[in-house]
Amino acid sequence: MMIFTKTELAEVVLIEPKVFGDQRGYFFESFNQKEFEEHIELKNFVQDNESKSTFGALRGLHFQKPPFAQAKLVRCIQGKILDVVVDVRKNSLTYGKYITVELSGENKKQLFIPRGFAHGFVTLSDEAVFAYKVDNWYAPEYDSGIIWNDPTLNIDWKIDKEKVIISSKDQQLSKFKDLETPFIY
């Protein structure tokens, strides 16, 4: 059994699994299609991805444009990350708003991020293993995103800016005010 909690961005859902532990270790269901459909919606996840990152590694804020937009189910398997989700759906009541959630191997929480939201995370532990399911194929020509240190969003990444490690690709992402979002609410 899992607990599904809507966040301040109503379509973004925090999922907490029931963990069974004893002297051998622990067991939990990390995904259950029936429960997922009862609480969120029918999704056909087509790909699982995993990344390993060192302290300060920041990935994001990413999304794919239609027709290759992606919903994601994300979790941190090992270590600790700060997960960030930004609503990029024009005309939505929460357009330009964001939430942050700490995901870790210890708390085993997951986050469902629908299409129309930018997503990123920063590693807060020495290293972290991050895994996610997506409901559409990766299409690099449809990649888009928002620069991590956007002045309009002013996200508190819970880490000194000098310690952030970011790819050259992510350093080229747009500012929020210049974003040409294809998502209309």
Contacts of 101 (CB under 8 A, 6+ apart): 7, 14, 82, 83, 85, 109, 111
Question: Does 61 sit behind a cis peptide bond, omega within 30 degrees of 0 on the bond before it?
Answer: yes
Catalytic residue, chosen from 39, 62, 95, 142, is 62
95: annotated active-site residue: no
Quote the Cα angle for 179-149-53, to 5°.
110
Catalytic residue, chosen from 132, 138, 142, 185, is 132
Residue 165 per-residue DSSP state: B
Say whether 39 sits in a helix, a strand or coil.
Answer: helix
Please name the residue that has the structure tokens 């690709």.
169
119: annotated active-site residue: no
Residues identified as active-site: 62, 132
